[in-house]
Amino acid sequence: MFRFNPAQVGERLHTLRRRAGQTLRELGAQAEVNYVTLSKIERGKMPQVSADIVARVAVALGVSTDYLLGVQEDTQAAPSAARPREDTHDAQSPAKRQRTRTAAPVA
């Protein structure tokens, strides 16, 4: 039976991030996860991690969620699908525009 081990997830996250030459802030921006959260995960100070965070980090690092969680030992056995980079687009599809934010009316 698999048991979530926050220390093991943190060790794997730290190793993969360093191997990729990324800072916590860079990985956080790429995975859309706060870098403080990533730091807590790396240090094993976060006893529970949401599936959404695990999936985002795994995609950003190019590994499977199973590897990151410690379910499998080989990073190449089931690599996760890489998310297309946001700054690249093909000539037929226009780049997405950032939506402007508007304040909600105050009653």
Domain definitions of the chain by residue range: 6-69
Residues 95-101, mean pLDDT to the nearest whole number: 65
pLDDT at 4: 75
Q: Count CB atoms within 10 A of the CB of residue 30.
A: 18
Cβ burial of 41 (10 Å; 0-12, 13-18, 19+) is buried
Helix, strand, or coil (residue 74): coil
What is the signed CA dihedral for 69, 82, 19, 67, rounded to 10 degrees?
Answer: 20
Whether 79 contacts 69, CB under 8 Å = no
Q: Tell me, which fold does domain 6-69 have in CATH?
A: 434 Repressor (Amino-terminal Domain) (1.10.260)
pTM exceeds cut of 0.75: no
**pLDDT tens per residue across span 26-45:** 999 999 999 999 999 999 89
**pLDDT tens per residue across span 48-97:** 889 999 999 999 999 999 999 888 776 554 343 343 444 444 445 456 66
pLDDT at 6: 80
